[in-house]
Structure formats: C-alpha cells, structure tokens
Chain A
Amino acid sequence: MKRVKIILAASLAFAQPASAQDAFKPEQVRSGSETYARHCAPCHGPRLADPEGAPDLRKFPRDQRERFLTSVSKGKNSMPPWGDLLRPDEIEALWAYVATDGKN
C-alpha cells in the first residue's frame, strides 16, 4: 500500500506519462500482460488490440491511473469488479502493462 501511495504521489507531482513509465519494472509489465491475457483479452482484445466490444485500452488516458485502478477493482458499466479476485499489486501490474502499451 505504501508503494502504491508513492507511485500515486509521483504521478500527481509530475503527471507525465514518461515519468510514470520509468516507474514500471519489466517484471511488472510482464506480470500485467499475463493477467491481461487471462482475464481482460476476451473483451478488450488480445495484446490490447482488436477489442470485442469493450473499450480500446490503447486510448485510455495515461494520466488517469487512479480511475483505471478503481474501474478494474470496482467495475464500470458492463465490466464486472475484479477487486475480490485480483490482488492490488496484480491490478497495479495491469496498469503498468496498459500504460506502457506492453512495450516496456
């Protein structure tokens, strides 16, 4: 939780996608890609491309990390909540994957 707060503070302080990107570790992005492939790809599209009805996450604003974490955790519109299945660090890793387009 402390780590989450630090990253959040960093994002708020700089609000720069590049700064946020620097904070992501390759292992985190890789872990996020695995969670994404299992739970998210069926609706949001394999490897972030070709979504099947759900929003295109390549267009998700990179300065809205908090909104991403909340939406995944609590659900949004047709998307169910994932907070009781995925740990906070797994959702954080998902954000790392999405925010870097899986390229880190």
Chain B
Amino acid sequence: MGKLSPGTVLFAACAAVAHAQTQEELLHDGNGGSTDNVLTYGMGYHQQRYSPLKQINKNTVKRLVPVWALSLANEVGEQGQPLVYNGVMYVSNVRQTVAIDIATGRQIWATPIEWDPAAARVVCCGLSNRGVALYDGKVFVASIDAYLKALDAKTGKEIWKTKVAEWKEGYSITSAPTVVNGVLITGMTGGEYGVRGFLAGYHPATGSLLWRRYTTAGPGEKGHETWPAGDAYLRGGGSTWITGSYDPDLDLTYWGTSNGGPWDANWRPGDNLWVASVLALRPKTGQIVWHYQWTPAETYDYDGNNENVLADITVNGVKRKVLMHADRNGFLYVLDRTNGELLAGNPYVTVNWAERIDLATGRPVETQVAKRLRSGEKVELKPRWTGGKNWFPMAFNPNTGLLYFPMKEETAIYQINKERPAYKPGERYQGVENTTAPRAPGAAWGYYAALNPLTAKPKWRMPLVEFPMWSGMLATAGGLVFSGKLSGEFIAIDEDTGKIVWQFQTSSGINAQPITYTHNGRQYVTVLSGLGGGTSAKRETAGKIQPGGSVWTFALMPD
C-alpha cells in the first residue's frame, strides 16, 4: 500500500460496504432503508411485507412484463423468499443456493445443498426451504437434514457448517434463518416425529452455538407444571418452523411454536407450555420474556407458527405496539407485543372447535365438537388441520391498516386413535386418523381477503374457486397487492376493490413469497414459481399443474 488519495480511500470503503452487509442495514430494511435491497425474511424485521415503492401502480401495471426467468432445476417445489443486496439476488430451495445478477438474470454462483435422501422421511408435509439470511458478507442457509451453513456471498463457497440437530431423531429445518442483534437464529421442524422444539442462536462469524432454548418447559422451569409427570415434554413438539420477527426497540424476537406431540393430547394432559404459542425472546440469550398460547392442550394439529407481524396501530383510541397473527386454529389475534396482552381474537373463517377467545382469560372457549373430539369420537373439524391459514405469509399495509391474505374453509374428519402411539426416534408420532370432508362441486376453497386486524371483518373477499392459494402476499404503496396462484398466474390485486387488475402465467404453480425492490431507479417484482414444497398443494391441484422451479422477475416495459 503506497500513498492513497482520499478518493481511493472512499472507493475502498464503499467496496467493503458493498460486500459486508451490516446490522445497521438490517435494522432499516423495509423501515426507511434503501429500496435497492431486501435483506430480511418478511421485507423488514416487522415482517409487514409492505413496500413504499409505487412506480408500479394501478395506472402503470398494464405495462408490467417479465424481464427475465431462471430455472432452479427443482421439481419438489419453491416456497422461498429471495433476498437482494447490491444488485445480487440470493435464492434457495432444498437443492441449492443460487446468486443471481439482477440486471441480467444470469447466475453468478450456485452451491448445492447436499443431504441424505432418507432425511426426507422426517419432513412431514413437503420438502421446503423458505430462504436465506444475509449478514457481514455471508449467506446463511439451512438444510432438510438440520445443518446450518455459512457461504461466502461473493463466491458461494462454504465458510462453516454446523449440525443443528440429528435428523434421525426427527429434526429438520425448512425455515429461513435470521440475524438479529448480531445473533444468527434458526428454528427447526419435526412436530410430527416426537421432537422437543427449540430455537438456537449461533455466532454468525464462526457458527459456534451461543444458546439453545427449548420450547417445552422442562423440570424447574415455570410452565413445566402444564405437562404430566414423566418425560412427555421431551417428545412434546413445539417446533419453530417459521422465521421470527423482531422489534429492535424492545429487543424482542417473536417466534410461533407448532402442534404438540403426539397429536392426541390425551397422552400429555395439561396446557403443554409453550406448544402452539408465541414466544417473545431476547436474541442475545434466548431468554423467554413473555408467551401467549394460541391453543392450550393443542390436539388438532393447529401449529401456531404462522408469522407474527409487528406494527403500531390504534386500539380504542390509543396507539399500541402490536403483534398480529392469523393462526391455523381460525382466529386472528392482536397482542400487545411489549407484554403479550391479548387485545383482540376473532374468527376469520368458520371455526367449530371454539366459540370464541375470552378476552378476560385470554383462552379459547371450546365447543362440544372439541369435547367429542377429545373423547375419541369421529368429528367434522373446522378449520381442517391445515388451518384457516397456513404458513404463506400475509401482508400489512400501514396506510390502509388492513391485512391481506388467502384463507381456507376446508373441513377435516378427525378422530384420535384408541391406542397410545409408540414413540420411535425419527418416526411418526401422531395417534390420529385425519381425512378431508368432501366439498360440494363448485364450492369455494376459501377466500382471498382484506381484513381489519381488530375485528377480522373483511373489507372485501375474493372466492378461490379453482384451487386454494398458497402464496405469500406483498402490499405496495402503488395500491397493488401481489400474490400468486397454484395455477401459476402471478397476480396484482387492487387493494381497494379486491379485483385482479393484472396477471401473468408463470411456468408452474406459485406457492412462494413475492418481493419488490429497485435497481438503477427501476422497480422490480420477483417471485419463485414451482408447485410443491407442501403436499397439500399437490392434492388440491390433482395433477393439473406441472411442477418445476424458476425465478420470475418483472418490471415496467419502457415507453
């Protein structure tokens, strides 16, 4: 190094920034930061999936065209949300992580994700990878066999690899990791295999374990009294398969937990904390600061993992810091995210297992249907175990104050088995027989709707007739909400009317998560197309849609 002019120093500093994305940038992602980047799962730590961009709006959307597409050579489904940093897009599925040049759509690097095919046995409901995390020049990605890896963002070369859990004991990872307050956090899955749920925090630079926080209360912990004597809590479920949101001011990260293990709660009498709950944790230590249980003594496979969207909204005339969550159990919840206080809990679909959520106790009031189900009778259960809403994330537009998401109105025929399910590591641990009640021909699968979070009342609803929807939502300041259909159309919906104002047929079904961003002043929208990642989508499309993963990117055609 000889003499450097000030210009050279500045250039060098910029180059360093360009490849080492920081915690500061993460804090501002989707929160006043550069729209050139999408750095977090959910387009912001709040997971609102809202963008202030409006170049693509109700007037201009007719000029929206695909600018490039790239095959991902994957036939088992795309559920991922891409991230974008300095003109490079990072995409993952269960087979590989790919870096793409946004300007051209050409691959920069692709790194295979290798795993023992037998590990697919412990993924209950479809092979999925929902995305990566970016921090300090590294791309973090998890795998079906429960490993977490750091790749060099420039080259895709592996920097470190760590085993999060043993897949042969039922553990897997399908969710995107996240970096909050300097800690790399991953969830896990395996609620159908008698696992003990947990979250784990790692050092992003080295992959060394900082903490592991179990989601079933063990001996000596408050909440252990909600489990029977013995070791049921060790196989009690409570997996953490959707990436948590984060409030940097409160320094709390919010994660949902899955169904209990086995599904039949009679073998684990009690509320079973913290199964089917939301946990507010300190990212540095994993300490649980508060919890709220959506479904006490959960026995319906109503995982509580759906995203927890953070916003500041007016409740009874007072601005509150809230967390919004549409649970599989059919209720839409608004909690005070500083302390977990229940502010609202209303059904957004037909629910027959509970009459209502009691605001005084914070607990659901179960119906005769629930009592009959728990006693072993075969019952029709609404919503179906897959939920009024599943993992596909909703969007919140802070300007309209409304939530946008697709909902499902299916009915299960549900019966717990008489015999106690046998626990064997890495094997199914459910103890329930569940099928689907036939639907009347032409009956809607559910609705796509704009909902008031406090009342769950729709501003509008669009019936889903041909197939249900399994795609995430993206709201924009352009008055458009983007999503995708299982039949493959990428769609733009008018946020005021609920009418589809633009659509494009992609190469396969869409069950992923759209994003929007800018590059050289031009607004882009990207979504992955590729049916699958969830087995239900295959049932629902009944062989009518071809699988096969691709990335599709759209922008306005120049005048």
Task: Specify whether A and B are partners.
Answer: yes
- CB neighbors of B among A22-69 (8 A): 38-39, 41-43, 45-46, 49-54
**Can you add 9 more A-B contacts, CB < 8 Å, to A46-B435, A52-B535, A85-B118?**
A38-B428, A39-B121, A39-B427, A41-B433, A45-B435, A75-B117, A78-B76, A81-B118, A82-B121
Q: Which candidate, B97-105, B482-490, B536-544, is the interface stretch facing chain A?
A: B536-544
A77 to B548, CA, bound (A): 12
Chain A residue numbers with a CB within 8 Å of B539 are: 51-53
The residue from A45, A52, A77 contacting B536, defined by CB atoms under 8 A apart: A52
Report the number of A-B residue pairs with Cβ-Cβ less than 8 Å.
56
Q: A45-B435, A46-B434 are in contact. Are A53 and B535 (CB under 8 A)?
A: yes
Chain A residue numbers with a CB within 8 Å of B435 are: 45-46, 49-50
B428 touches A39 (CB 8 A): yes
The 4 closest A-B pairs by CB, nearest first: A53-B535, A80-B120, A53-B538, A80-B121
Nearest CB on B from A18, distance (A)? 29
Report if B75 contacts A (CB, 8 A). yes
User: How would you classify the secondary structure of chain A's contact residues: helix, strand, loop or mixed?
Assistant: loop
A85 touches B121 (CB 8 A): yes
Chain B residue numbers with a CB within 8 Å of A52 are: 125, 535-536, 539
Nearest CB on A from B181, distance (A)? 37
Closest to B119 in A: A80
| Interface, chain A (partner B; CB < 8 A) | 38-39, 41-43, 45-46, 49-54, 75, 77-82, 84-85
A42 to B536, CA, bound (A): 11
Report if B532 contacts A (CB, 8 A). yes
Highest count of chain A CB atoms <10 Å: which of B119, B430, B435? B435
Report if B124 contacts A (CB, 8 A). yes
Chain B residue numbers with a CB within 8 Å of A41 are: 433
B117 touches A80 (CB 8 A): yes
Report if B126 contacts A (CB, 8 A). yes
A46 touches B536 (CB 8 A): no
- Of the A-B pairs whose beta carbons lie under 8 Å apart in the complex, a sample of 28, sorted by A's number, is A38-B427, A38-B428, A39-B427, A42-B124, A42-B192, A42-B428, A42-B430, A45-B435, A46-B435, A51-B539, A52-B535, A53-B534, A53-B535, A53-B539, A54-B535, A75-B117, A77-B75, A77-B76, A78-B76, A78-B532, A78-B535, A80-B117, A80-B118, A80-B120, A80-B121, A82-B121, A84-B118, A85-B118
B120 touches A75 (CB 8 A): yes
Chain B residue numbers with a CB within 8 Å of A84 are: 118
Q: A39-B427, A51-B539 are in contact. Are A81 and B433 (CB under 8 A)?
A: no
Q: What 0/1 readout, one digit per residue, does chain B (534-558) give for beta carbons within 8 Å of chain A?
A: 1111110000000000000000000
Chain A residue numbers with a CB within 8 Å of B120 are: 75, 78-80
Closest to A84 in B: B118
Nearest CB on A from B416, distance (A)? 13
Q: How many residues of B contact A (CB 8 A)?
A: 26
Chain A residue numbers with a CB within 8 Å of B119 are: 80
- CB neighbors of A among B145-189 (8 A): none
Report if B436 contacts A (CB, 8 A). yes
Closest to A82 in B: B121
Highest count of chain B CB atoms <10 Å: which of A42, A45, A78? A78
Nearest CB on B from A83, distance (A)? 9
Chain A residue numbers with a CB within 8 Å of B124 are: 42
A51 to B538, CA, bound (A): 10
Q: What 0/1 readout, one digit per residue, does chain B (241-280) give for beta carbons within 8 Å of chain A?
A: 0000000000000000000000000000000000000000
Closest to A41 in B: B433
Chain A residue numbers with a CB within 8 Å of B532 are: 78
Chain B residue numbers with a CB within 8 Å of A54 are: 535, 538
Chain A residue numbers with a CB within 8 Å of B349 are: none
Chain B residue numbers with a CB within 8 Å of A39 are: 121, 427-428
A54 to B121, CA, bound (A): 13
Report if B394 contacts A (CB, 8 A). no
Chain B residue numbers with a CB within 8 Å of A45 are: 435
- CB neighbors of A among B100-153 (8 A): 117-121, 124-127
Nearest CB on A from B294, distance (A)? 23
Closest to A74 in B: B117
A41 to B417, CA, bound (A): 14
A6 to B16, CA, bound (A): 69
A85 to B424, CA, bound (A): 11
Chain B residue numbers with a CB within 8 Å of A77 are: 75-76
A81 to B121, CA, bound (A): 8
A45 to B436, CA, bound (A): 10
Nearest CB on A from B404, distance (A)? 26
A79 to B118, CA, bound (A): 9
Closest to A46 in B: B433
A84 to B168, CA, bound (A): 12
Nearest CB on B from A63, distance (A)? 22
Chain B residue numbers with a CB within 8 Å of A79 are: 120
A46 to B430, CA, bound (A): 13
Closest to B538 in A: A53
Chain A residue numbers with a CB within 8 Å of B118 are: 75, 80-81, 84-85
Chain A residue numbers with a CB within 8 Å of B121 are: 39, 80, 82, 85
Chain A residue numbers with a CB within 8 Å of B125 are: 52
Closest to B540 in A: A53
Nearest CB on B from A40, distance (A)? 10
- CB neighbors of A among B346-402 (8 A): none
B117 touches A81 (CB 8 A): yes
Chain A residue numbers with a CB within 8 Å of B434 are: 46
A78 touches B192 (CB 8 A): no
Chain A residue numbers with a CB within 8 Å of B430 are: 42
A46 to B432, CA, bound (A): 10
A50 touches B436 (CB 8 A): yes
Nearest CB on A from B445, distance (A)? 15
Nearest CB on B from A36, distance (A)? 11
